Amino acid sequence: MVWDVTVQTALGALDGLSMRGEVRAHNIANADTPNFRAQHVAFEDALADALQRGAPTNARFDTVASPTIVGPDGNSVDLETELIGEMKDGLLRQAVVEGFNFKTGQLRVAMGGHR
């Protein structure tokens, strides 16, 4: 199949969202762990840089410390922030998948197939 920049970008975004989801789940699982420091994945800048280099599927996503306030037990997980972020990521994932499906449907039609 032909993978153009749109499809490659969608795949890169899904990789970033997947990693972000894993990190969020780890944060939530450790919400009551003393001295645990929440992490997050801000993949958008890395994806934009990879896209400028012409290789969106080669974006490197890193985890960094979340800028949340540390509680008295040394834990920095904010459950409200994590859950709201999870909902936003779900909407973004849905939009990316719908765009991916539309694009691959167009490619299929262009190659003589049916939707």
The total number of structural domains in the chain stands at: 1
Query: Is residue 113 domain-resident?
Result: no
Query: Is residue 114 domain-resident?
Result: no
Q: What is the pLDDT of residue 113?
A: 66
Contacts of 4 (CB under 8 A, 6+ apart): 103, 107
Query: Is residue 115 domain-resident?
Result: no
Query: Is residue 111 domain-resident?
Result: no
Q: What is the pLDDT of residue 4?
A: 77
Query: Is residue 64 domain-resident?
Result: yes
Which range marks the domain in which residue 92 is found?
5-105
Q: What is the pLDDT of residue 98?
A: 94
Hey, what amino acid is at 90? Answer: G
**In what helix (H) or strand (E) does residue 108 lie, and over which residues does it extend?**
helix 79-110
Q: How far apart are CA 12 and CA 14, in angstroms?
A: 5
Tokens of 95: 């939009």
In the chain, what is the straight-line distance between the N-terminal and C-terminal CA atoms, in Å? 15
Query: Is residue 40 domain-resident?
Result: yes
Q: How far apart are CA 21 and CA 29, in angstroms?
A: 12
- pLDDT less than 70: residues of the chain: 1-3, 113-115
Query: Is residue 83 domain-resident?
Result: yes
Query: Is residue 9 domain-resident?
Result: yes
